[in-house]
Amino acid sequence: MVAFKSVAAPEVATLPVIRQTALSRLAPEVADFLEGGAGDESTLLANRSAFSHWGFRQRVMSGLAGPDLSATFLGIDLAMPVMTAPFGADGLFHPEGQKAVARANRMAGITSIVPEAGTFGLEEVVQAAPEATRIAQLHPMGPEKNFLTMLARIEDAGCAAICLTVDCPTGGWRERVLRNSFDLDARYVGGNYPDSGETTLIQVFGQLFERSATVWSWDRLASLMSHTRLPWFAKGIMTADDALASEAAGAHAVYVSNHGGRQLDGVPAALDALVEVRRAIDGRLPIVFDSGVRRGADVVKALALGADVAVIGRLAAYGLAAGGQAGVERVHSLLYDEIRTVLTLLGRGGVRDLTPEVLIPQAGSVLHGVFGADA
C-alpha cells in the first residue's frame, strides 16, 4: 500500500473543499477558464449527472481483507487505477504547474499524461520527477515534420506511451472565455515551442485556430505513428465506430472522453459512451476514461462499466491551484481512501473484481432498462 503524504490544512480536508479553495484563489477569469465548458455547457453538466444514473449493489459480510487498488496499464504499474490528464495552461493554476503534478504523482505511485500545450516543456516535466513513469500527449495536427519531431522528443525523454488527443481539430466554442475576453497568454501553453515561432498549437488553445486547416484522418495518423516504437492511444473517442477505427489504425488502448465537456456541446456524457465503446472493443484493448470524475466513487463506477483506468483533469487542477504539489497529493490521498472505502463496502477484493453487476441503473436514467446481463 502506498503511504500517501497528507496535507493537514483544514481548507483541503475534502475534495469539494479543495475545489472551493482552488476557485477562491484563482482570478475570476481563470476560474471560469477552468470550470467552463462549450456552448450551453449541457455536456459539461451531463458528465456529472451521468454518475447519478447508477447506484451501487452492495454486498455485505464478504469476509475479504483490505481491497487491492493496484492496476497496470500498458505495462505501467499504478498504485490505483488513476492517472492525471494532460491539461495545458497549467502555469495559470500554480507557478510549478505540471512539474508539481509530476512530483505529486510520483509520491502517489501513479502516472502523468504530460500536455503538449503546457507551460513547461516535456523535458522540464520529466526532470522534475525523473524516476517517475510518464505518458506524453501529442496533437495530430499541423505540419507533419513538427509532429515527427515531437515523436522523437517523446522517445528521447523516456516516455512509456503516447496519448494522441484527436478531438481538437479546433477549439471548442467556450462562451465563458468570450464573455471575459480572456486572452490566453502564449507562455502558458507554449512550453514545448518557446523559440520556434510555430503558432498552430498556440492558436488552438487561444481560440484563434485557422478553421480552414486540414483535419487529419485515421490513415494519415496510422502512417505517422509507424515512426515510433512506443504504444499509443487516441483520446476523445465517443462512439463504437471511432473506437474500432482507432483499433484498426494500430492503437494499443482506447481513451473515452468528451474533453470534459469543453469541445462539442451536445454530445452524450462520456460515461454513457463508455458502455458503447466497451461493447465494441470487447476486451481486446484496455480502456481509459475521463470527463466528470470528481470522487473515488466515480472512479469505481467507471471501472465497473468497463474502464481500466480513470483520468482526472479538473480535479488535479483544483489540487494544484489549492496547494501546489501538496494539494495534488491531497487529492490523490482522498481519492485512494474513497475508492478503498467504496470497494470495502461493496464487498470487492480489488479494482480487478469490478463488473457491471456492482451497479444498478437508476429509474429515470436514459440507460435504465436497456442493459442485460452483459451491461
* Domains along the sequence of the chain with CATH: 15-349 (3.20.20.70)
In contact, 163 and 235? CB cutoff 8 Å: yes
For 281-303, how does the pLDDT look when each residue is reduced to its tens digit (9 = 90+)? Answer: 999 999 999 999 999 999 999 99
> Is the model's pLDDT at 33 over the cut of 60?
yes
For 60-102, how does the pLDDT look when each residue is reduced to its tens digit (9 = 90+)? Answer: 888 787 899 999 999 999 999 999 999 999 999 999 999 999 9
pTM more than 0.85: yes
In contact, 154 and 172? CB cutoff 8 Å: no
> Is the model's pLDDT at 267 over the cut of 60?
yes
pLDDT band (50, 70, 90) for residue 363? low
> What pLDDT does residue 196 have?
59
Pairing outcome for strands 71-73 and 76-78: antiparallel
Structural element, H or E, at residue 337? helix 314-346
Of 186 and 275, the structure prediction assigns the larger pLDDT to: 275
> Is the model's pLDDT at 4 over the cut of 80?
no
For 99-118, how does the pLDDT look when each residue is reduced to its tens digit (9 = 90+)? Answer: 999 999 999 999 999 999 99
Question: What does the alpha-carbon distance between residue 80 and residue 133 come to, in Å, rounded to a whole number?
Answer: 14
- Assign residue 129 a region (left: φ > 0; alpha: ψ between -120 and 50; beta: otherwise): beta
> What pLDDT does residue 56 have?
97
For 302-339, how does the pLDDT look when each residue is reduced to its tens digit (9 = 90+)? Answer: 999 999 999 999 999 999 999 999 999 999 999 999 99
- Catalytic (active-site) positions: 259
> What pLDDT does residue 16 have?
94
Of 258 and 198, the structure prediction assigns the larger pLDDT to: 258
Percent of the chain with pLDDT over 70: 88
Helices 28-35 and 15-25, axial angle in degrees (round to 10): 140
Long-range contacts formed by 182-186: CB under 8 A, 24+ apart: 182/29, 182/30, 182/32, 182/33, 184/33, 184/89
Query: Please, which residues bridge with residue 312 across strands?
Result: 84
What letters, b where the CB count within 10 A reaches 16 and e where it falls short, cover 312-326? bbbbbbbbbbbbbbb
In a 3-state reduction of DSSP, which class is residue 255? Answer: strand
DSSP 45-94: HHHHHHHHTEEE---------SPB--EEETTEEESSSEEE-----GGGT-
For 168-215, how does the pLDDT look when each residue is reduced to its tens digit (9 = 90+)? Answer: 888 899 999 999 998 888 889 889 988 755 544 555 444 334 444 567
